[in-house]
Amino acid sequence: MSGLAAFDLTGKVAIVTGGNRGIGRAIALGLAQAGAAVAILARNAERNAEVEAELERIGQPTHADILDVTDRAAIAQAVGRVERALGPVDILVNNAGNTDISGGVLNQSDEGWDNALATHLTATMLLSKSAAQSMQARGRGKIINLASMYSIFGAAALPSYAAAKGGIVQLTKSMAIELAPHGIQVNAIAPGWIATEMTEVAREDPDWRDFNAMLMARTPAGRWGEAEECGGAAVFLASAAADFVTGITLPVDGGYSVF
């Protein structure tokens, strides 16, 4: 398959965790626009319904379900409900996340540390395990994990987040090696500074003006990224165009990581 046809996701079933806002929403909409049936799994029912309506307007089958990714017992059940509603999962996007701004290890709470690792790292492993069992049986599949610039660079104020996101890169590589013989590609996206609800304070609050200026000075593109730009990367990694791409972490950062 070559040309634009390689990016066509018609007939594929995708799950996007945390798909009801920000980068997750943009990825869910991008996959649907490429032809996939998309399920969003996230905690807020009202936001889930809003994005589900957007997906329905695109014209693809959709499904929304409430899931707290730190609830281990609920993960396999949620994946099972998606498969009953839409069919076997072809694409899994592990996007759900949170931020624990502890201020550093000296101020890090046990609860914040445990929650960050459970939300980002453990949930990614468990969701991938559940989806990969179905993918393995059919000899194909795509798993896309959300890494971060803090997978690469230190983050003094967010040690739990940085540790979890660093782990995502290594988990991605490990799963890529394991699952490649089964026709499953595993990759990660590392967003740079993206304009979302979570980053609004850094963009808009005058108290963060110097921090914002530092980010823009370090970003060769000279601007904040848009969530939709992560959506495009996800469509590529989910498509046949990336069938020989596995184990990578793809920066979507306007060049921030080049410096």
Single-letter amino acid, residue 164: A
Structural element, H or E, at residue 249: strand 249-252
> Is 216 a domain residue?
no
In a domain, 204, yes or no: no
Which member of 161, 193, 224, 256 is catalytic? Answer: 161
Please report, for the domain that includes residue 144, its CATH number.
Answer: 3.40.50.720
- Is residue 28 in some structural domain? yes
- Does 63 have pLDDT greater than 70? yes
Residue 113 near residue 160 (C-beta atoms within 8 A): yes
Please report whether residue 91 resides in a domain.
Answer: yes
256 is catalytic: no
Phi-psi region of 119 (alpha: psi -120 to 50; beta: other; left: phi over 0): alpha
Distance CA 128, CA 138 (A): 15
Q: 135: which residues sit within 8 A by CB, 6+ positions away?
A: 88, 89, 90, 141, 143, 179, 182, 183, 184
How many structural domains is the chain composed of? 1
Q: Which two tokens stand for residue 76?
A: 């396999």
Instruction: Tell me the backbone φ, ψ of residue 154, rounded to 5 degrees.
Output: -70, 155
Mean pLDDT for all residues in the chain: 95
Q: Identify whether 205 is part of a domain.
A: no
- What single string gives the DSSP state of each residue in 107-176? G--HHHHHHHHIIIIIHHHHHHHHHHHHHHHHT-EEEEEE--GGGTS--TT-HHHHHHHHHHHHHHHHHH
User: What's the CA gap between 184 and 166, in Å, rounded?
Assistant: 22
> Tell me, what's the pLDDT at 2?
65
151-204 pLDDT per residue, tens: 999 988 888 999 999 999 999 999 999 999 999 999 999 999 999 988 888 899
Q: To 10 degrees, the CA torsion angle through 26, 27, 32, 38?
A: -120
106 within domain boundaries = yes
| Domain that residue 136 falls in | 3-197+226-254
What's the pLDDT at 181?
Answer: 98
pTM of the model: 0.96
> What's the average model confidence in pLDDT over 95-104?
84
